[in-house]
Amino acid sequence: MCFKRSALSVVIFSENFADSSRCLDEVATISRSMEEFGHLVLPVFYKVDPSDVSEDSGSYANTIEQKYGTRRLQIWKDRKRWIDALKAVANCVGYTLQEIKIDSDLVEEIVNVVLKRLAEISPRVKSDHLVGMDVRASEVEQLLAMNVYDFRIIGLWGMGGIGKTTLATTCYHSFVSSEKEMKYHFVPNINEKLENQYGIEGMVHELYSILLSADNLDSHNMGIGYRRERLSRLRVFLVLDNVEKIPQLEQLLLGDKQAANLFGPGSRIIVTTRNRRVLENAGANIYEVKHLHSHESLQLFGIHAFKNCLPSDDYLDLSGVAVSHCKGSPLAIKVLGCALLNKQRSYWESFLYELGKNPKLEIDDVLRRSYSELETVKKSLFLDIACFYPRLIKSLAIEYFPSSYLEDLINKSLLSYVFSEREGLERIEVHDLLKEMAWAIVNEESKLENRSRLKNYDDIYKLLAVGDVKTSRIFNYLNIMKPKEKHGSSFE
């Protein structure tokens, strides 16, 4: 076994463990990896006491002595190596069956501990890129009050691009590896998923299958009463990201507007939204995620425009002008900073002059200005990805599109790669504001026949409702599936 490539080993000590020289050899290898590489180990004592494994007078040492003590010299050396290894591994913090009476509960507890320990050693986003996050996270953690054994739902409310999801993620990771006896789950970008990929019933089924550790439950078993009974005994830490409509949250919480009795005592739910009414309807404690202060804006801008914490003296005046256009939006600051990275002062002046022509400047104008600086082929690639592939797997993205173009869009903060711990892979991520900008640009293309892509459902319907296409299977399908509300709908 190659323990250098493993982050953690689980060693299960049973009554007959010491009878197997192969098991003893593996423990010796694990022990050596602990010493040489800092390998993590979780010992599980199954129907044996830790002292049976670790002490010289324990049952393991006696078994080794009786079975191998009178053998040849090599076996005698192995005997000492085995006993030393058993002591080293058994002295790690572990679990015994006496603590948890039911085997299935023991297995579940072991899995949870392994996941938490792996989360603790997983790489984190560098904190220097999360300007102003520490203070905001501390304020949210006070509202969460994890030491109080009641139910709480916390709402993170604010404009798009202000950092709600980043704040929720920061708070989630600060507790996921420290709080025990809780079920953790983060559901990202709910509004987009419900509009473009999922039905609400499918999302509810997936969410509660995960929380109840029951992926094979069918629709009958997942009835409201059944779920409520089990969930009422479950302590959860749940993040519902980007919930924009009241019915979305109500259905995700099984029709319970307040959700106070849905989960067990000590449970916490974080909801991020641009719609304050969603939180008010749910009786949430609302935390308004406000824009960055001027000094925070300059610091974040410096990170992306200069790869430093503050703008250089030569560009301090122009940096102040740049961040004033962003109105404290972290996304706009990041995109604008990346657009000006490594550019001459004359370019800055021209760029900011064009940006400042609009007296009623909005965040969207900042994003559009950065988009307008792209080459034509990269503009087209960005629109394609934002409209049709915003969650494409990284490996497929590299296969479908020129990697140099993707890298340039990432460097300009118009795209990013995000690792999904649950899936174990990276996907492309396009921020909501950037997707909305892309959709608006596509819809603004003047003539239907000159448009390279269609996002709006009605445009797709009209195009397919021409001539012989009306008799096609896809047109009949669209006619059946046409949404009741025409405005704001999309088809992918």
With beta carbons less than 8 A apart as the criterion, state whether 392 and 401 touch: no
pTM of the model: 0.60
Report d(CA 238, CA 386) in Å as an integer.
28
The answer to whether residue 305 sits within a structural domain is yes
pLDDT band at 271, cuts 50/70/90? very high
399 in active site: no
Examine the domain organization and report whether 258 and 150 are in the same domain: yes
Clarify whether residues 145 and 282 are in a common domain: yes
Name the residue with higher pLDDT: 87 or 450: 87
Please write the tens of the pLDDT for every residue from 94-134.
Answer: 666 555 556 677 777 777 777 766 655 544 444 446 787 88
pLDDT for the residue 126? 42
Predicted confidence at residue 425, as pLDDT, reads 79
Same domain, 409 and 367: no
pLDDT per position as a tens digit, 403-458: 888 888 888 888 888 777 666 778 888 887 888 888 888 877 655 455 566 655 56
173 and 273 share one domain? yes
Bridge partners, residue 307, by sequence? none
Q: How many domains does the chain have?
A: 5
pLDDT per residue as tens digits for the range 318-338: 999 999 888 888 888 989 999
Of 225, 250, 253, 228, which Cα lies nearest the Cα of 238? Answer: 253
Residue 43 bridge partners (DSSP): 11
Tokens in use for 341?
């990275």
Tens of pLDDT, residues 234-268: 888 999 999 988 888 888 887 765 566 788 888 89
Q: Is residue 492 part of a domain?
A: no
pLDDT at site 470: 47
Tell me what percent of the residues of the chain surpass a pLDDT of 70: 73
Here the contacts of 12-16 (C-beta below 8 Å, separation 24 or greater) are 12/44, 12/46, 13/43, 13/44, 13/45, 13/46, 13/48, 13/52, 13/53, 13/60, 13/90, 14/46, 14/47, 14/48, 15/46, 15/47, 15/48
Are 338 and 460 within one domain?
Answer: no
- The sheet with strand 8-13 has its strands ordered as 8-13, 40-45, 95-96
Residues 197 and 310 in one domain: no
Q: Is residue 236 a part of any domain in this protein?
A: yes
Q: What is the DSSP letter of 466?
A: S
> Last residue of some domain: 357, 372, 387?
372
Contact 427, 420 (CB under 8 A): yes
The active-site residue, picked from 15, 26, 65, 139, is 26
Please check whether residue 429 lies inside any domain of the structure: yes
Asked whether residue 129 is domain-assigned, the answer is no
Query: Does one domain contain both 385 and 362?
Result: no
State how beta strands 425-429 and 416-420 pair: antiparallel
Please report the DSSP string for 39-50 in residue order: -EEEEEESSS-H
Strands of 171-248, DSSP E: 183-187, 236-240
**Is 192 found in the same domain as 245?**
yes
> Is residue 489 predicted with pLDDT exceeding 50?
no
**Boundary of a domain, candidates 372, 398, 426:** 372
CATH number of the domain where residue 214 is located: 3.40.50.300
Same domain, 146 and 251: yes
| Amino acid 481: pLDDT | 43
Residue 191 C-beta-side C-alpha neighbours within 13 Å: 19
At 273, the pLDDT band (50, 70, 90 cuts) reads very high
Instruction: Give residue 6's pLDDT.
Output: 63
The whole-chain average pLDDT of the chain stands at 77
Evaluate if residue 79 carries a pLDDT over 90.
Answer: no
Look at residue 130 and tell me if it is in a domain: no
Which tokens hold the place of 190?
A: 């709910």
In a domain, 98, yes or no: yes
* CATH at residue 387: 1.10.10
Q: Residue 303: inside a domain, yes or no?
A: yes
Same domain, 455 and 413: no
Residues 174 and 275 in one domain: yes
| Reported confidence tier of residue 36, pLDDT bands at 50, 70, 90 | low
Q: Which residue has the higher pLDDT, 474 or 301?
A: 301
What CATH number should be reported for the domain holding residue 9?
A: 3.40.50.10140
The reported pLDDT for the residue numbered 71 is: 52
- Cα–Cα distance, 21 to 28 (Å, whole number): 10
Whole-angstrom distance, CA of residue 351 vs CA of residue 340: 8
More confident residue, 69 or 55: 55
* Residue span of the structural domain in which 389 resides: 376-434
Q: Are residues 207 and 272 in the same domain?
A: yes
Counting beta carbons within 10 angstroms of the beta carbon of residue 23, is it exposed (0 to 12), middle (13 to 18) or buried (19 or more)? Answer: middle
